[in-house]
Amino acid sequence: MTSLLHEPHAKERRLIFANISKPGYKPDIETYLAHGGYAEAKKAFTMKPEEIVQEVKASNLRGRGGAAFPTGAKWGFIRHDDGKPHYLCVNGDESEPGTFKDRFILHQDPHQLIEGIIITCFALNIRLAYIYVRCEFTYAKEILERALKEASERGFLGKNIFGSGFDLEVYVHEGAGAYICGEETSLLESLEGKRPYPRIKPPYFPAVLGLYMSPTIVNNVETICHVKHILRLGAAEYAAMGTSGDGGTRTFCVSGDVVRPGFYELPVGAVTMGELIFDLCGGLRPGRTLKAIIPGGSSSKILRAGEVYKIKSKAADGSMIEKEVKLLDLVLDAASVAAAGSMVGSAAVIVMDDSRNMVWALNNLNQFYAHESCGQCTPCREGTLWMSKLSTRMLSGKGEASDPTMLHTIADNIAGRTICAFGEAASWPTQSFIDKFPEEFEAML
């Protein structure tokens, strides 16, 4: 793989990518053990399961897949002694355009994930776990299965783990090229061998009714890896790295028009957008200026260069003050990016310079959503295709004066009218591109 990990910047703090970045680091168990691997899994078995859940709650870990749901709260829905089987499904379907962190974890440090799985399963009384990986990661299943076998041979998986009497089986389940399977209830349907249509809510959480109608935790690959570091550092130290309510580190995946695209594992809220793009990623290519940033995966609303946001924060005396914050001064935590009208999502930052045509970029995304709509809900199935056709028409120079408005209206009629969040994900790019760059859409007519 092309190296996307650069010399660590002073502001970086690598937990998840600490070992992956070392020269000669291999995905086998000997390498992992030599780097202190499985120490936290062993430690977990000396703790009470509820203590581990408490630690994760106190760590303020939020899901790293995109929705940023507090992991401890999700885990808290599982009742240890409800007499039902519990399941863990690790979401490694990484498909949100712009995101590529899980690919590296799965391929280069599978044991880190397995250790996280062991701790999670012990904490939640789970005896059967699946790692759902997309099949386009053509070697991931092989690599993971080899790692699972190595862990089993050492007694870290299977029957009577670490002599504790606790049994755990973990299997790898491959997807088949559908973005929708990253939606957690779609993932469960896929795992059940059905057409992966997202489930109707409520129940809102698979932790209530999940795989095989039993309580199930679905967590992203990176999220599960963080669990081990929470036990290693302790919840207090882990939480202190981040902002209030959003602990630890996040891996930003930066792609597009920057000099050094790649991963940057940063304490939550440690850098601003400007620092990420200009200090860590080396800025834009020579002679180019910044035009726009998609801050959290292709579904997040686009931010335009030069924008100023009004963001409320707490002053020293506890009163709320409103500050004007420029795009490049925007702190990269969930609350700040949300206050700027977008979301930190999967922390996949796509940077666009002044050479980019926004209608062209939107059309590319519209084609993605039209292709990936599962077709279950009419507004999304029909609407994404209409949006794609309209932006294609505008791009070809055959657009009509009413097209930008019509495009926006279609998006408005998808968002909020579908079973899953794909409807919003497909609408937000169109809504935000037209709102933020109206002159480019008018210029195409």
Partner 1 sequence: MNDLKNTENRQPTTDNCVLTQEASGICSQSSVLPAVLLQKIEEAITHYPVSKRSAALPLLHLWQNHFGFIDESGVEWIAAKLELNPIAILEIVTFYPWFRQNAPGKTIIRVCRTLSCAMAGAYELHDAFCKATGIDPEHPHEQGMPTSPDGKFSVEFVECLASCGSAPVCLVNKDLLECVAPAEVAAIVEERR
Contacting positions for partner 1 (CB under 8 A): 1-2, 4, 85, 94-100, 102-103, 128, 134-139, 171, 173-179, 190-196, 211-212, 253-257, 261-263, 294, 298, 348, 350, 352, 356, 361, 364-365, 367-368, 371-372, 374
Nearer to partner 1, 101 or 111 (CB): 101
Q: How far is the CB of 189 from partner 1 (least distance, A)?
A: 10
Smaller CB separation from partner 1, 193 or 286: 193
Element (H, E) at 178: none
- Nearer Cβ to partner 1, position 15 or 253? 253
Min separation Cβ 162 and partner 1, Å: 23
Q: Which residues of 151-164 are buried (b: 16+ CB within 10 A; e: fewer)?
A: bbeeebbeeebbee
**Would you say 159 or 312 has its CB closer to partner 1?**
159
Smallest distance from the beta carbon of 97 to partner 1, in angstroms? Answer: 4
Distances in Å between the Cα of 5 and the Cα atoms of 37, 134, 263, 280, 306 are: 21, 23, 6, 11, 29
Between 135 and 339, CB nearer to partner 1: 135
Q: Minimum CB separation from partner 1 for residue 209, in Å?
A: 14
Query: Read out DSSP for 80-96?
Result: TTSSS--EEEEEE---S
In the bound state with partner 1, the residue whose beta carbon lies nearer, of 257 and 333, is 257
Q: How far apart are CA 157 and CA 240, in angstroms?
A: 32
Q: Which strands, in side-by-side order, build the sheet including 303-304?
A: 262-267, 249-256, 348-353, 290-294, 303-304
Measure CA 85 to chain center: 27
User: Side-chain half-sphere of 171: how many Cα atoms within 13 Å?
Assistant: 6
Residue 167 CB, shortest distance to partner 1, in Å, is 12
Q: What would the two tokens of residue 163 be?
A: 């002599």
Structure tokens at 128: 């059967």
C-alpha closest to that of 255 among 289, 295, 221: 295
CA 402 to chain centre: 36
Q: Name which of 149 and 312 has its Cβ closer to partner 1.
A: 149
Q: How far is the CB of 160 from partner 1 (least distance, A)?
A: 18
Q: Give the shortest CB-234-to-partner 1 separation in angstroms.
A: 32
